[in-house]
Amino acid sequence: PIERSLVLLKPDAVRRGLLGEILGRFERKGLVVEALELRTMDAALADQHYADHVEKAFYPPLKQFMTSGPLVALVLSGDEVIEVVRAMIGSTDGRKAAAGTIRGDFALSNRENLVHASDSPESAQRELALWFPKL
């Protein structure tokens, strides 16, 4: 089924000049960019976006990082896009992510890992409403 996923190219992707590389991979895969915006996450949006993580020990530095500069928020659509994008991104920790994935090829951290993507249809629905309420 055609789905939508909320994808964030995190502040490290912007700072490192990797937007084109990452977006190009999604485009070449055949995914459709339905919305795209340069945004800076504020504290309130971070707490909402990461509602499942706010109590975790890694959250304060994650919040600091995610609000540290502009990021690119986008909506991608395509057949089974949620699973497809997560496979392209690789596992959370860039040191362990498989070569060939975005994190495996470009990240060396489990926090500054370049990309976020919705991990289920339920989280996609929640995150899309948060970032692109008019879509």
Q: Is residue 92 annotated as involved in ligand binding?
A: yes
Q: Which stretch binds ligand CMP (CB under 6 A): 25-33, 34-42, 98-106, 108-116?
A: 108-116
> Which residue is closest to ligand CMP by CB?
116
Tell me if residue 10 falls in helix, strand or coil.
coil
- Which of 32, 39, 58, 64 lies at the binding interface for ligand CMP (CB under 6 A)? 58
CA distance 93 to 51: 20
CA atoms within 13 A on the CB side of 93: 2
Q: Is residue 103 annotated as involved in ligand binding?
A: yes
- Which of 9, 31, 78, 113 lies at the binding interface for ligand CMP (CB under 6 A)? 113
- From residue 127, how far is each of 20, 27, 40 by CA, in Å? 23, 21, 15
CA distance 131 to 115: 15
**Binding residue numbers for ATP:** 10, 58, 86, 92, 103, 113
Q: Which residues bind ligand CMP (CB under 6 A)?
A: 53, 58, 62, 92, 110-111, 113, 116
